[in-house]
Amino acid sequence: MFSSVWSFIKRHKRKFIFTGVVVGGVYVLGKYAQKKMGEFQENEATEYIAQARRQFHFESNQRTCNMTVLSMLPPLKEAVVNQLNSESLTALLKAKPANKLEIWEDLKIISFTRTIVAVYSTCMLVVLLRVQLNIIGGYLYLDHSVGKSTATPLAPPEVQQQYLSSIQHLLGDGLIALMTVVKKAVQRSLGGVSLKQSLSLLELEQQLSWIRAEVEAEEERPMSWYMLADAEDALADQACGLTGNDLATIKLLNETRDMLDSPDFTTVLNVTLNRGFSRLLDDLAEFFRPPPGDSASCFAPDSLAAVSLPLAKIIPIVNGQINSICSETPSHFVQDLLMNDQVKEFAANVYETFSAPQELQK
């Protein structure tokens, strides 16, 4: 069933650096759909059974989505680290150069930028894939449901592949644009803070809030801008005329954009980001424990402000966070994001919308 996707990939190998994992996700989805189709043929489709299957199909789709997110974290991390390479600065520092202070200042900006970008992009990956896989999942459900002519699939394999490969924007141009904006905000907020200055966890949280406010306040660049390229850009290669499949992909991308611009999506992304950044602070808090035997209890409400560390000591701690944020083994960070009830509820709404037979009449 997906042989056409594979041969398409083979022909365009170099163009699809990141699609391997995405196609992996679709492949699993397709395998599942194939199995379901067999089951469908064995049974009478009563309304009740159809509902139950739709639900089952949905649950399976969410597992596919979680697996796809996890499989995309290593390439995401690689893309961030390639662009914001603090390791090369650390290596320079080991040689004790004359411009040591200057390099430390760079390291300060790069470390914070890459950790903040890692939180943003991981959160975006989670919600974007939820939207995309539930849109496509809804269509696949319709394509394989009883009574639907299989002669005219809504989402043929080539369209699925083309549509899902749009995730490359978040790992490419979208990511670069996000880095630029975050870096600017980090410079404004931490640029003037001396390496010797001590910060408490509470002050660190304040800094992160300022940076977030600045990044998210960009008027002419809504957050969806980092997640989805313009449809024209996404299909720029097909300049010599659009096929029926191209138009189907553009339609899917249009529907996705509408979804990303909806107030519900903004809320869900915000909730996810809140979760991500508070998880980051929890992880940083491990390093701000009062020394053992200190009379100030670790659990006192003001313990957040009790311990301060010089910024120069905080930098390596912040710098290392990307490893747990973008960890390929399910870390508590990404687990937290994937298990979020509001994200699940939103996913269910997207799926409900796109798997409803009324869509056919549109």
Q: How far is CA 351 from the centre of its chain?
A: 18
Quick one: which of 41, 194, 209, 254 contacts ligand NAG (CB under 6 A)?
A: 254
CB nearer to ligand NAG: pick between 213 and 356: 213
Give me the least distance between CB of 295 and ligand NAG, in Å please.
Answer: 34
CB nearer to ligand NAG: pick between 21 and 229: 229
Q: How much of the chain is in helix, strand and coil states, percent to nearest 5?
A: 75, 0, 25
Q: What mask, x for binding ligand NAG by CB under 6 A, covers residues 188 to 227? A: ----------------------------------------
Please give the Cα distance from 155 to 252 (Å, whole number): 9
Nearest to 113 by CA among 172, 209, 208, 183: 183
CB nearer to ligand NAG: pick between 238 and 254: 254
Does 238 participate in binding ligand NAG (rule CB under 6 A)? Answer: no
| 3-state SS class at 192 | coil
Place of tokens 């459900």: 141
* Residues contacting 344, CB < 8 A, separation 6+: 62
CB nearer to ligand NAG: pick between 109 and 211: 211
Place of tokens 């509408």: 258
Quick one: which of 5, 21, 133, 250 contacts ligand NAG (CB under 6 A)?
A: 250
Q: Which amino acid is at 341?
A: D
Q: Are 79 and 175 in contact (CB under 8 A)?
A: yes
CB nearer to ligand NAG: pick between 88 and 274: 274
Give me the least distance between CB of 121 and ligand NAG, in Å please.
Answer: 18
The dihedral of CA 4, 8, 10, 13: what is its sign? negative
* Buried residues in 315-327 as b, exposed as e (16+ CB within 10 A): bebbbebbebbbb
Question: Which residues inside 140-179 make contact with ligand NAG, applying CB under 6 A?
Answer: none
Piece of 3-11, 244-252, 276-284, 323-331 that binds ligand NAG (CB under 6 A): 244-252
Quick one: which of 148, 184, 221, 251 contacts ligand NAG (CB under 6 A)?
A: 251
Question: Which residues inside 263-292 make contact with ligand NAG, applying CB under 6 A?
Answer: 266-267, 270, 274
Quick one: which of 17, 193, 247, 305 contacts ligand NAG (CB under 6 A)?
A: 247
By CB under 6 A, name the binding residues for ligand NAG: 231, 247, 250-251, 254, 266-267, 270, 274
